[in-house]
Amino acid sequence: MKGRLAVLLPVWAWLLVFVAAPAAILLAIALAEADSGVPPFRLAWSLTGFATLAEDRYYLDAVLTALRIAAMTATGCLLIAYPMAMGIARAAPGRRMLLLALLMLPFWTGFLLRVGAWIGLLRDQGWINGMLMALGITEAPLPLLYSEGAMLVGMVHSYLPFAVLPLFAALLRLDPTLGEAAADLGAGPATAFVTVTLPVTAPAAAAGFLLVFIPAAGEFVIPELMGPPEAQLVGRVLWQEFFQNHDWPVAAALALALLLLLLVPIRLFQRLEARP
């Protein structure tokens, strides 16, 4: 019992300090009332912040937009991650580490540097528009940057390893004789993937989806630097409420609402993992 307690105690201490305590602080601020002092709230048992969220459609739209963008980002990552993970898993053992290193190599650079590189590629005078006009495909630059598509490209690129790594680990454990048996029974590559590979790797795919979806739902930097100006995602709204409007109770209530919504896919993943 003492050994078990010694193992679990650091975990519970970590959760207490970095999960429970911040959530309790957020709840206290959400139940406070906005004030003009420093800090810009006074502690009170008030539901004004939550009432503002419920009454103003603006916040609901921001949450729904953030969840939609996060779902599209996670789906895009999975669509790219599956062939990448399969290619790495099926490579010769001596080449796998090299391929994984090449996958992670861009992420050893600064985050803002990668975003700046995409801005340089997608802007009106960037390489992509320059190439299209040089080839005569377009006569004027295409509005690639500051669009939802540019935002998705940046987010998919930023979160792609979080989807590749769990799939790679699952595919590495996949018995290759299962695919051979499916081929012997007349199944083509697509049928074998749908009937054999996909069900076996579904928990890893769900884990990769969550690892991308959860941080993408609160992403602030990429939508701010690459997204359309009119896009109001939760990250941008939180920044506005905290630093422009100084309405910390509303911002804290919005952060808590997003946190509770993100518990739903986590619970669904736990149920999927518990299936026999």
pLDDT, tens only, 8-29: 788 889 989 988 999 999 999 9
| Per-residue pLDDT at 1 exceeds 70 | no
CA–CA gap between residue 187 and residue 235 (Å, rounded): 46
Q: What percent of the chain has pLDDT over 90?
A: 45
The predicted structure's pLDDT at residue 41:
83
Question: Once rounded to an integer, what is the mean pLDDT over residues 39-48?
Answer: 84
**Domain layout of the chain by residue ranges:** 31-274
CA–CA gap between residue 3 and residue 158 (Å, rounded): 40
Whole-structure pTM value: 0.88
CA–CA gap between residue 241 and residue 221 (Å, rounded): 16
Calculate the CA dihedral of residues 141, 111, 157, 208 and round it to 10 degrees: -160
The predicted structure's pLDDT at residue 33:
87
The predicted structure's pLDDT at residue 228:
92
| Per-residue pLDDT at 72 exceeds 90 | yes
Q: Which fold is adopted by the domain 31-274?
A: MetI-like fold (1.10.3720)
Residues 63, 234: contact at Cβ < 8 Å?
Answer: yes
Q: Could you tell me the pLDDT band of residue 65, with boundaries at 50, 70 and 90?
A: very high
| Per-residue pLDDT at 211 exceeds 80 | yes
| Per-residue pLDDT at 276 exceeds 70 | no
| Per-residue pLDDT at 2 exceeds 70 | no
| Per-residue pLDDT at 125 exceeds 80 | yes
| Per-residue pLDDT at 113 exceeds 70 | yes
The predicted structure's pLDDT at residue 221:
92
| Per-residue pLDDT at 71 exceeds 70 | yes
pLDDT, tens only, 165-189: 999 999 988 877 777 677 767 777 7
